[in-house]
Copies of this chain bind each other. A is one copy, B any other.
């Protein structure tokens, strides 16, 4: 099949290579011309603008957008909505908020353009060799592009998940679960670390991956991490986050679903960004006021 790829960052470029491996034709565009050259060398057809990219596709045109979520995605989608025609298809594979996807799909539908929101889990390696993709959009139209997803993902590694927005929603919730799992694992290792015993964490991760209830890719990754740095001495415990955990909690609040574990996983990340807290100052001040408990001075 022939399709256009807009955005040749880590994810987009790897997807192009993956698509080429499976004998798809790819017209590729990025604002960075070098990135275009790179995939062109591997067999993609370069384009110097979105307009040119669209012109090189055949009806029904398929344009896969893989640019940073937010303003950039908004801009590219708007341009595509102008350029594409009835029956054409947009695949949006970034980390977009599902509500944006619902809105963009509705706007595209007004012009008869099919819009697919694709949530991807599996990182660059997944983009290159097969990831896990969750795809929302029109079911009938999906049949046309399904072969692409079958080719580039691991077996059973894609799912048509329902109406537009359902792909990004599902990916968002996936990440929420991921936050919770990671925090659970981390708390466990912290308990081990503070205990009276002296564990070999790499060995612990290894044994937990063989036969135990918690065996999982995340525990495999811990084995790998501990193999490089036995006590993680070189790493600071600063836990950044990139949005989807927060969106999951916000959605949970909107839906009135109690999600204490996902919420606390996120909040402990925020806590890790601070050296000192105003919350702590207030509690320390209160203890000092009523109990005469000494405060620690700056």
Contact = CB atoms under 8 A, between A and B. Distances in A.
Interface of A: 10, 121-124, 126, 130-134, 136, 153-159, 161-163, 165-166, 169-170, 173-199, 203-204, 206-218, 221-222, 224-225, 229, 232-240, 242, 246, 248-253, 255-273, 275-293, 295-298
Given A166-B199, A235-B285, A237-B278, A210 B263 contact: no
Given A122-B212, A248-B191, A179 B170 contact: no
A279 B190 contact: yes
A236 B159 contact: no
B157 A211 contact: yes
Contact of A186 (B184, B222, B278): B278
A134 to B, nearest CB: 6
A152 B77 CA distance: 55
A177 B184 contact: yes
Given A159-B203, A174-B213, A207-B134, A189 B278 contact: yes
B184 A282 contact: no
A222 B282 contact: yes
B214 A218 contact: yes
A153 B232 contact: no
Given A260-B268, A280-B238, A295-B235, A178 B252 contact: no
A267 B268 CA distance: 11
A292 B123 contact: yes
A191 B261 CA distance: 13
Contacts of A248: 188, 191
A180 B178 contact: no
Contact of A214 (B177, B213, B273, B296): B177
A269 to B, nearest CB: 7
A10 B292 CA distance: 11
A199 B173 CA distance: 12
Most buried by B among A246, A251, A260: A260
A278 B185 CA distance: 11
Contact of A278 (B163, B204, B208, B232): B232
